[in-house]
């Protein structure tokens, strides 16, 4: 395996502590794999005594596959885990008895606690996120109370936090944050560290910039800085984009303060991108103040047409121009669709792209296979439209069963079975049966009557309102935004309210519910969103760690990228990650109007540009 001088220095590192700062496309995985191989082959380290920690399970699996080329049959003996799975294994091996609480079970647990405390004005997902962030920063419920003494909403969160921890302890439950905290306590305060110093004298960590304070605490407890073993951390502060998950960029920026004996090795030769693309990346990230200074060096030569800035009127024209350029590259240059990717800041931005790509006949692939119209908050409102359009049809029956408890009206499965029984006997629709039935329970009677009154107000006026107006009124009268965000843990690239806003924008293009639903059905019927050979559509966070010959970064307007509430330096790092996915051609696009409002192009475009070529929108744009 051929390595450059700095890669070789990092791979040959034997004992002590090292920080390997690896820029995008610098071969860090190859270097990390080679180092493990050298520990075993050159220094006689048993594979079982090596612990490699990665950010994701997929990264661990990819690392093991690469190790097969270096260690062959011995690769399976190397310990490769995510840090959470490592902590789980450690605690189980030490005889700890517990079950994991996560997902809907965890959400239900917090919701029950909030009801018992009479807390109704906070979103469950937001409370759970605050608790997780506190724990990832090693903050206890008592410390949380002291920290937010004057903030009433945070004080309520603290009450939930305290009760949540007590109930988990009673029921022998750990959440994912507990795996870190309990492993840290065992290692640092219960005598476990000395044992594991001998078990794992050599520790390697990938994507170190994405670690949080609790993970750092676990690592510090595992490390024995005696020169007998080694701690080898690899990461890039310029690619630290997970602050919303509790990641602390300070862990990598302060590495030499935390570990004074550490050696720093910088891998700054990029084997992925052309010089012009790297120049744009460098110009952008140079505006950040908190960073490890580095110079991006291109290994590959530059092309004649590497960089383009596309200026458009609105997001639909933007999507059309992107589609035209993709068609042109496919037909004229022979570029495979799978070699092209369109990256965006948030999921709601994919709707217009899917719309245009379907019309243009461009196959595309959405990571995780979920198109815009399959998202829960969007899908429920579409079912309301289907029901309102024709409540007594088969489609209306199907839609009714999906919306009757959205939001929750406490009309469960047995209730709908009763309704279905009456409908079968009377040979009528579920809705007709629902309207004629009498219910003994006062709350069921009240909830059914309220639902029918609401639906009738739409059904009777269906021909007089466009789909966007109906959706807007449904959002208001159902208090729908609160419903979809209550159990939604916020993330920067999937915000339910933004998806709903985009749904209204899409619906506004159609005069009737029928026309809009026909369009949606056309998009849903297309199999192109699951075609691995198609153009990749994904958020920037999903694209991290990937590379494509051709990359389009769309929607670079103020308020989207950077977002209004985001930390500017983190937002700039997110943009840097997007640009640095491109190998040969990079397109940066923005529009003068966005979501029906005047928009200003992102400050990041001015920061990254200079000598970039500008592609005028000269190709024919399909009519809307």
29 labeled part of a ligand binding site: yes
Cα gap 496→283, rounded to integer Å: 33
CB 199 within 8 A of CB 235: no
Q: Annotation-wise, does 33 bind a ligand?
A: no
Secondary structure letter of residue 587 according to DSSP: E
Q: Where are the alpha helices (DSSP H) in 137-175?
A: 141-147, 152-170
Closest CA to 374 of 385, 362, 366, 363: 366
CA distance 445 to 160: 33
Nearest to 312 by CA among 529, 592, 2, 621: 592
Angle between helices 28-41 and 57-71 (to 10 degrees): 50
**Residues 113/118/120/125 CA torsion (nearest 10 deg):** -20
622 is annotated as contributing to ligand binding: no
Instruction: Report the alpha-carbon distance of residue 341 to residue 321 in Å, rounded.
Output: 14
Is residue 316 helix, strand or coil? Answer: helix
Is 28 annotated in a binding site? The answer is: yes
What is the token pair recorded at 265? 């090795």
Q: Is 280 annotated as a binding residue?
A: no
Q: Is 26 annotated as a binding residue?
A: yes
Which residues touch 478 (CB under 8 Å, ≥6 apart)? 407, 454
303 is in an annotated binding site: no
Question: In the structure, how many helices (H) and strands (E) does the chain have?
Answer: 28, 18
Alpha helices, H only, 190-236: 192-199, 213-222
617 is annotated as contributing to ligand binding: no
Looking up tokens 């890039």, which residue turns up? 236
Q: Which residues are documented as binding site?
A: 22-29
Q: Which residues are documented as binding site for ATP?
A: 22-29
């Amino acid at each position: 395996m051929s390595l450059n001088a700095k890669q070789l220095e990092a791979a040959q590192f034997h004992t002590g502590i090292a920080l390997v700062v690896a820029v995008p496309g610098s071969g860090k995985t190859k270097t990390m794999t080679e180092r493990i191989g050298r520990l075993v082959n050159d220094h006689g380290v048993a594979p079982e005594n090596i612990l490699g920690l990665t950010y994701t399970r997929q990264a661990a699996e990819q690392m093991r596959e690469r190790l097969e080329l270096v260690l062959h049959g011995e690769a399976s003996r190397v310990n490769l885990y995510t840090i959470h799975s490592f902590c789980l294994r450690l605690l189980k091996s030490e005889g700890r008895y517990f079950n994991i609480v996560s997902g809907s079970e965890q959400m239900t647990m917090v919701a029950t606690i909030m009801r018992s405390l009479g807390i109704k004005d906070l979103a469950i997902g937001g409370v759970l996120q605050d608790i997780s962030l506190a724990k990832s920063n090693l903050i206890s419920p008592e410390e949380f109370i002291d920290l937010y003494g004057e903030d009433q909403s945070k004080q309520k969160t603290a009450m939930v936090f305290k009760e949540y921890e007590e109930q988990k302890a009673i029921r022998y439950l750990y959440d994912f944050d507990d795996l870190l905290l309990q492993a840290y306590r065992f290692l640092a305060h219960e005598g476990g560290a000395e044992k594991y110093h001998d078990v794992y004298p050599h520790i390697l960590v990938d994507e170190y910039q994405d670690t949080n304070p609790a993970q750092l605490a676990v690592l510090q407890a595992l490390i024995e800085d005696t020169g007998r073993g080694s701690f080898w951390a690899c990461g890039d502060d310029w690619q630290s984009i997970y602050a919303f998950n509790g990641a602390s960029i300070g862990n990598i920026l302060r590495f030499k303060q935390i570990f004074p004996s550490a050696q720093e090795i910088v891998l700054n030769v990029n084997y992925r991108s052309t010089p012009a693309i790297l120049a744009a990346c460098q110009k952008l990230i140079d505006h950040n103040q908190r960073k490890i200074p580095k110079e991006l060096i291109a290994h590959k030569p530059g092309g004649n047409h590497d960089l383009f800035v596309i200026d458009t009127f609105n997001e639909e024209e933007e999507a059309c121009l992107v589609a035209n350029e993709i068609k042109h590259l496919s037909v004229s240059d022979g570029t495979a669709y799978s070699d092209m990717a369109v990256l965006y800041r948030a999921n709601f931005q994919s709707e217009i792209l899917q719309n245009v790509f379907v019309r243009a006949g461009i196959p595309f692939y959405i990571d995780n296979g979920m198109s815009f119209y399959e998202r829960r908050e969007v899908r429920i409102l579409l079912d309301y439209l289907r029901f309102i359009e024709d409540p007594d049809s088969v489609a209306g029956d199907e839609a009714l069963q999906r919306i009757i408890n959205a939001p929750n009206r406490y009309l469960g499965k047995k209730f709908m079975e009763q309704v279905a029984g009456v409908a079968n006997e009377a040979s009528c629709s579920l809705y007709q049966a629902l309207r004629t039935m009498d219910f003994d329970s006062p709350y069921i009677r009240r909830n059914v009557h309220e639902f029918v009154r609401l639906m009738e107000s739409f059904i009777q006026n269906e021909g007089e309102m466009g789909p966007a107006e109906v959706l807007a009124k449904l959002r208001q009268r159902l208090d729908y935004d609160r419903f979809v965000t209550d159990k939604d843990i916020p993330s920067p690239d999937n915000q339910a309210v933004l998806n709903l806003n985009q749904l209204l924008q899409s619906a506004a293009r159609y005069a009737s519910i029928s026309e809009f639903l026909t369009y949606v059905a056309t998009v849903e019927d297309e199999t192109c969103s699951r075609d691995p050979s198609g153009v990749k559509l994904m958020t920037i966070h999903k694209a991290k760690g990937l590379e494509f010959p051709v990359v389009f970064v769309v929607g670079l307007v103020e308020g989207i990228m950077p977002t209004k509430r985001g930390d500017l330096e983190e937002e700039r790092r997110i943009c840097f990650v997007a640009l640095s996915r491109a190998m040969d051609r990079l397109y940066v696009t923005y529009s003068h109007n966005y979501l029906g409002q005047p928009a200003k192009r992102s400050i990041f475009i001015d920061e990254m540009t200079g000598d970039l070529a500008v592609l005028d929108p000269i190709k024919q744009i399909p009519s809307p």
